[in-house]
Structure 1
Amino acid sequence: MLGRRRGERRLLDREVRRHLADVGGRSVVVDGSQPADELFLDLATGAPCGVLVVDVAAREWPGLLARLLWHVRPGGALVFRGGEGRTADPLVQRLRTLDAIRAGERAPLAARRKGDDVRALAAAIGGWREAGPHVVVTSTARALAKLREEQTDRLLAAGRLRGQVLASVPAATFTARCSVAQTDSAVRHAEVREITAPAMALRAYDDVVCAPRQVVVHDDVLLPDTFRRSHRHRLRSAALVDLAPDFASVRAALDDPAPLAGTWVHLDSEYPGHFGHLLTEQLSRMWAWPRILEEEPRPRVLLSTRTPRTALHAFERDVLGAFGVAEDDVVIIDRPVRVERLLSATPMLAQPGWVHPGIADAWRHAGAALAAGAAERAWPRRIFCARRGDKRACRNAAEVEALFADEGFAVVHPEELALAEQAALFRAADVVAGYAGAAMFNLCWTDAPKDVVLLVPESYTAENEYLMAAVQGHRLSIMWCPSDVALPEVGFSAEAYQASYTADLVKDGAWLRSRLRWLG
């Protein structure tokens, strides 16, 4: 018996040495003594694993395969240590199933996202074999671990990431300060609700790689600043290939990033150069600007682009200018760069979900600065923001806009105005109406509660205007409009989200006219 155990041990040692000689890296033994979160962080932030040895009960092997393979560098091995009382049968059966899925001979039993995870796992397995009582699985994937906000702060405090937390704002729970009146809808309803926003942080990172579309990489981990919704149950980004709940790869090649010396403020977006995302996700990081100015009297800003350009869009220049940022102090990247020092703040707005009331100061500051740059003129007191384009178009827009004009509203296209004029227009209005969407995000510039009338497609699940009203105290009147494509019963549908719609004036026209007259 003792001789057999020694033989098994020699066989295991030989496998470890062989793979380390081939791919390098470290060898780590997982024995079940660490809590799952601690193990994840140790593996994610340590030197890359050439070999990961799993020394736990065999019944746990199939589940650990999906959790641990991603920590192994390409060409490395995940080795399940067999021996007395451990049968490899459940794992071998699982590996054979994954082989069949990889070959296209069968589909995962799980559907949707879980099915995608199974397919990704199957694709990441370069091969497997039984070595005596042990099972050796080789990896083909270079996966980056996704770090969450709270994990990042713990690692920074422990010195396991390069950087520090410069400022923080406590979590906040408050009752939305808006009021809501609305038409009947079988599928949508808005209400004054309690909103809980997580804690915010301004962090400084040293020697990180930034790639277009908001990606921030520290060695082999994706920092939470990569994700515009960094507190969601599952972190996702269009810039990434999602592999597993806690792992992804970057679509863009990260090899040979160009050096970028000095300190830079990360204000990039998953959807760069987009007006709506600028006014919501990017602007909501500017709560940290006063602290950033203490750190850097003349901050330089890092943005990216998906299309060839070196100059800012006019609306980007105006928003940044409201905080004193000159265009010469902005770099727009279209490929990865290695940043000497990066300052990055948690966004205070993430929809659908929450907004932190602390964002109000940044909105007020920017709104006042922008409006001060508008020429003096008499602005209409009741405005209706029209919308052009085929995406999320109102099919009876002419009829709707005629109704609002008949009720004394000036029909405007805000995008035809300079941003300073848009801010002045919204601040001067008593009643702001329009189709839900980016034009209405100009509400953030207002300095007092407004009466706000929204026409919202039932399949449009964004809540930006509601979240702004929740902080600023606007009085909402919502007309729910049937969409061409219904919301799915489960999950998200981009087709439904962007679908055109019709304002049902037969059903709700009388309510709408009555509401507009009541608003004065």
Structure 2
Amino acid sequence: MSIFRQSVNSRTDWRKAARSLSKSLEGVYGRVAFVTDDENHPAVAWLVHEFSTVVLVGPESTRRPGLRTVSAATLEDETAAIAELGGLSAVVDARSSTDQERSLRWQWLFYHVQQGGQYVTEHTTTATPWWAEEGLLGDANRSPRDFKESAQSIETVDESDGVVRLRKGRQHVFKVKDENANRVVPARRPLARLAVLETEPGGTFNGSTTVVEHGSEPRLPSQKWNYHHSHVRKVSGGVTIRRDGLALAGDTVLPSSFRHARARSVSNPQLVSFNQEFGRAREHGPTRRLNGSFYDLSSTMSGHFGHTMTETVSKLWGWDRAKEADPSLRAIYRMPHPEFSPTVERALFTAFGIDDTDIEWVHDDVQVESYVWSSYLWQNLTRYHFHPRVKETWSRLREGLVESRPVDRRIFVSRKSTEANRACLNLDEVEAHFSARGFEIVYPETLPFAEQASTFGSARIVAGFAGSGMFSMMFAERLDGVLVLSHDSYTARNEFLYATALADELHYSWSRSQIQHGSDFSTEAFHSPWAFDFAAHGSDLDRSIDRMHELADRQRS
């Protein structure tokens, strides 16, 4: 049975309650959201008398001339509607009629209240302190984590005038997804003056790469996917750029902060996320102000090669149009620490045509006057896909980095360190096996970046261990074949995406990881050591190797 019933008027003195709320919110700015079933509720007149911006939130039938109203039939509707109002100075709940209702609605809507703002609802001093009783709803809570965070966010409690006022002591931030940004950002931040500088249409990709998998049930996604409209956007009015690409416009997290910007629940290492909509920014240092407009090329894991190759590269596409719109625009890249040398990043930017004098390298938190970003053209999670426009970026980088050489190499991409993530415990045996069968063993991390690009650019066949060492496949104009060795707990599919874009044929060989995922995703399993199982998969591997040679020889003849 639903815990929700029709709200009824109580003995609450709304005149006093509205006046007390107004006094207690001095210095706190933002709209007041009044959640109700009744447009003629007695609180409306008193709230409008005390506050200049009151918004009614309620069912479709809730309308009051001269007052902004947003329709919301359910709690999910309420939080979606209120999200577009921006940070609120207060939420006043007159829709709940029981403590169970009040508790659940508070767990959904308290996040929208700014730090220092208040959540108000009808209450008597003899009633249950529902904001402190997690067991009141049991399994009906939004989640144990949401209840705990909401409870810990209460700074003070005031019970008077027939209401309870919960003052909020923490600031939460709203996570904007890429597909909603054109609507939500200007709604939440009207002074930010969001402008869309370029739009790349979406469509459907139909890959034609032949895919072969050994050692496991099929694990690779479909080669057919829908890719979304992608945009180059600009906002003004001050945006803070923090470590790991976290971009904040006040209490709004911009989509550039999320490398999986179209995932169901987006995240960033510098956010403590509680649900799909809200998180809390981690502690940070002082913020330095930078005048001017900046195009963000940071990744969500600053300084990590793999994240640079998949994230930063997939954001380069909008630079030309943004620079054309504002010739004073500069690129900005957030480094992990002052001693970091952005060798790879500088080489990529130079190859793309961005002059070094047009790049601001920062290692601290900065606030920029105007902020420009482009949609990611690459997503390596859940709905794995890329936008075909990213291949134009690869081509431009190839022209700037790859030396002209005969395209005839057959390389096996290995790694020097056996202590790295996903360490192959019989690496020497694997290398010897490939070397004896005509493959050149390469260690990309030991090569100058331009030489690494040229090595892949002159390859016909790329084989190797799954991981960021394989990402330089992007520098190949095309590949006859790709052969990937991986373990069954590795859920990233970057190698699949590169091969789908560039290769005629792709073979995967799966072995079992030492640590397995349980009922939930496990980071330890994802990075688990493993060994290639020659006893179980050696014959299949040899057939794949023979096929790779056959493909390359066919092209040569």
Where on the TM-score scale, by shorter chain, does this alignment land: which range?
0.7 to 0.9
**Shift of residue 185 of structure 1?**
1.2
* Between 130-139 and 454-463, the greater mean CA deviation after superposition: 130-139
Return the letter of the residue paired with 1:216: A
- Equivalent residue number for residue 386 of structure 1: 414
**Shift of residue 381 of structure 1?**
1.6
1:272 to 299, 302, 325: 302
Distance 1:322 1:74, change over 3 A: same
Contact 2:316/2:393 (CA < 8 Å) preserved in 1? yes
Distance 1:135 1:447, change over 3 A: same
1:11-30: per-residue Cα shift (whole Å, max 9, x none)?
42243134224756554423
* Between 128-137 and 163-172, the greater mean CA deviation after superposition: 128-137
Is residue 243 of structure 1 aligned with residue 271 of structure 2? no
SS at match of 1:383: strand
Distance, in Å, in 1 between the alignment partners of 2:87 and 2:146 is 22
1:318 to 347, 350, 370: 347
SS at match of 2:195: strand
Q: CA RMSD in A?
A: 3.0
TM-score of the superposed pair, with normalisation by structure 1: 0.87
Return the letter of the residue paired with 1:162: R
Is residue 8 of structure 1 aligned with residue 49 of structure 2? no
Distance, in Å, in 2 between the alignment partners of 1:229 and 1:317 is 24
Return the letter of the residue paired with 1:458: D
Is residue 151 of structure 1 aligned with residue 180 of structure 2? yes
Is residue 359 of structure 1 aligned with residue 393 of structure 2? no
1:444-491: per-residue Cα shift (whole Å, max 9, x none)?
11111330010011111100011122222441111101111012233x
Return the letter of the residue paired with 1:62: S
Distance, in Å, in 1 between the alignment partners of 2:199 and 2:77 is 24
Contact 2:461/2:479 (CA < 8 Å) preserved in 1? no
**Shift of residue 258 of structure 1?**
2.0
Distance 1:191 1:68, change over 3 A: closer
Return the letter of the residue paired with 2:537: D
Distance, in Å, in 2 between the alignment partners of 1:222 and 1:312 is 28
**% same residue:** 27
- Equivalent residue number for residue 335 of structure 1: 364
1:97 to 133, 158, 175: 133
- Equivalent residue number for residue 210 of structure 2: 179
**Shift of residue 117 of structure 1?**
2.7
Q: 5+ unaligned residues in a row in structure 1: which ranges? A: 102-106
Return the letter of the residue paired with 1:469: A
Residues 415-494 of structure 1 mapped to structure 2, 5 A cutoff: 415-490=445-520, 492-494=521-523
Contact 2:91/2:120 (CA < 8 Å) preserved in 1? yes
Between 1 and 2, higher relative CO (CA 8 Å, sep ≥ 6) is seen in 1
Distance, in Å, in 2 between the alignment partners of 1:417 and 1:141 is 48
Residues 185-200 of structure 1 mapped to structure 2, 5 A cutoff: 185=216, 189-190=219-220, 192-200=222-230
TM-score of the superposed pair, with normalisation by structure 2: 0.82
SS at match of 1:450: strand
SS at match of 1:519: helix
* Between 172-181 and 26-35, the greater mean CA deviation after superposition: 26-35
Aligned residues between the structures: 498
Distance, in Å, in 1 between the alignment partners of 2:427 and 2:254 is 43
Contact 2:176/2:185 (CA < 8 Å) preserved in 1? no
Distance, in Å, in 1 between the alignment partners of 2:434 and 2:329 is 44
- Equivalent residue number for residue 155 of structure 2: 126
Contact 2:265/2:275 (CA < 8 Å) preserved in 1? no
**Shift of residue 422 of structure 1?**
1.7
Distance, in Å, in 2 between the alignment partners of 1:377 and 1:178 is 25
Contact 1:178/1:470 (CA < 8 Å) preserved in 2? yes
**Shift of residue 88 of structure 1?**
9.7
Distance 1:211 1:246, change over 3 A: same
**Shift of residue 93 of structure 1?**
6.0
1:50-89: per-residue Cα shift (whole Å, max 9, x none)?
3321121325422220122122233332001369xxx996
- Equivalent residue number for residue 434 of structure 2: 404
Contact 1:70/1:141 (CA < 8 Å) preserved in 2? no
Distance, in Å, in 2 between the alignment partners of 1:116 and 1:27 is 26
- Equivalent residue number for residue 35 of structure 2: 30
Is residue 20 of structure 1 aligned with residue 56 of structure 2? no
Distance 1:109 1:502, change over 3 A: farther
